[in-house]
Amino acid sequence: MATTNMLDGKVVIVTGAGGGIGRDIALMAGAHGARVVVNDIGASLDGKGEDSGPAARVVEEIRSAGGEAVANLDSVADPDSARAIVRSALDAFGRLDGVVNNAGILRDSFFHKMADEDWDRVLKVHLYGSFNVSRAAAPVFKEQQAGSVVHMTSTSGLIGNLAQANYSAAKLGIAGLSKSIALDMQRFGVRSNCIAPFAWSRMISSIKVDSPEQEERVARLQQMTPAKVAPLAVYLLSEQARTVSGQIFCVRNNEILLFSQPRPVRSVQRQDGWTPEQIAQHAMPALAASFHPLEVSADVFSWDPI
């Protein structure tokens, strides 16, 4: 139960809220006084099929706990459907104060094997979906001079991961999208932030377990429940976060981390410019000490979840 109603009176859309991280965010938002639009088409992990059950069950959970919620089954991947998601909030509750762009699918494949459809579909749901819903909400936020958008990014994009070119590209793109929204909409009192969540959900439950080391890794991941991500999302939706915008956070079990954002780390210059030979002889050797290694998320987050 919430100790304070941080979102009392607010209306929040949570996409992909039928399960996993989205479900826990929707439940906690409702527990903190928000009226929630639970958006989920009920697709499988790879984005196929539809099922009204997951969204309806989360709505019932919120209502059973004394909150207010409605289900929405529109797809974030289509602009018209995204506008329908926003309209459902306005029709049901008369306003909109926050959006959590959480909907996602996975279609992993090594790059040299990746199908055009798998690239396109993952970007449509994650990156286009985040744009579509945010764009549909933007005029509402502009008119009321307030609003908060919370996007789910991933260390797969911020750091790197194997066999996820589509997912990584989408998630890094979301970080750029969030920053642009924060910059363009700050004059209207609108905030935009990212969360890179570590959580055991069906989005990572497909990890292959074929060695004792992988079994140990999965056991650690299972400690990081979706419920651990919800408090930060609820905070970012609240008025208490009104000075927080354009940031990239990470939740890893009981840790909250702030990510750096790309900035120059080293430079070289020649008064007369460079030839390719001079770059090979001088520039690259000087810059090489600051090169970033080819790391994946597990290389950077080498310690056990706290």
Distance between CA atoms of residues 84 and 79, nearest Å: 9
Q: Residue 69 burial (CB < 10 Å; 0-12/13-18/19+)? A: buried
DSSP conformational letter for 115: -
The three-point CA angle 268-271-277 to 5° equals 65
Specify whether 235 is catalytic.
Answer: no
CA nearest to 25, candidates 235, 234, 252: 234
Active-site entry in 167, 198, 200, 249: 167
Pairing of strands 98-101, 11-15: parallel
Q: Where are the beta strands (DSSP E) in the chain?
A: 11-15, 35-39, 68-72, 98-101, 147-152, 190-198, 248-252, 255-258
What amino acid occupies position 57?
A: R
CA nearest to 165, candidates 208, 122, 103: 122
Distance between CA atoms of residues 207 and 75, nearest Å: 26
Q: How far, in Å, are 116, 134, 195, 282, 305 from residue 199 at the CA level?
A: 28, 24, 12, 45, 11
Q: Which residues contact 299 (CB under 8 A, 6 or more apart)?
A: 159, 293
Tokens of 129: 């979906």
Per the document, the length of the chain is 306
Q: Is 237 helix (H, G, I), strand (E, B) or coil?
A: helix
CA nearest to 103, candidates 173, 150, 57, 143: 150
Active site residues: 167
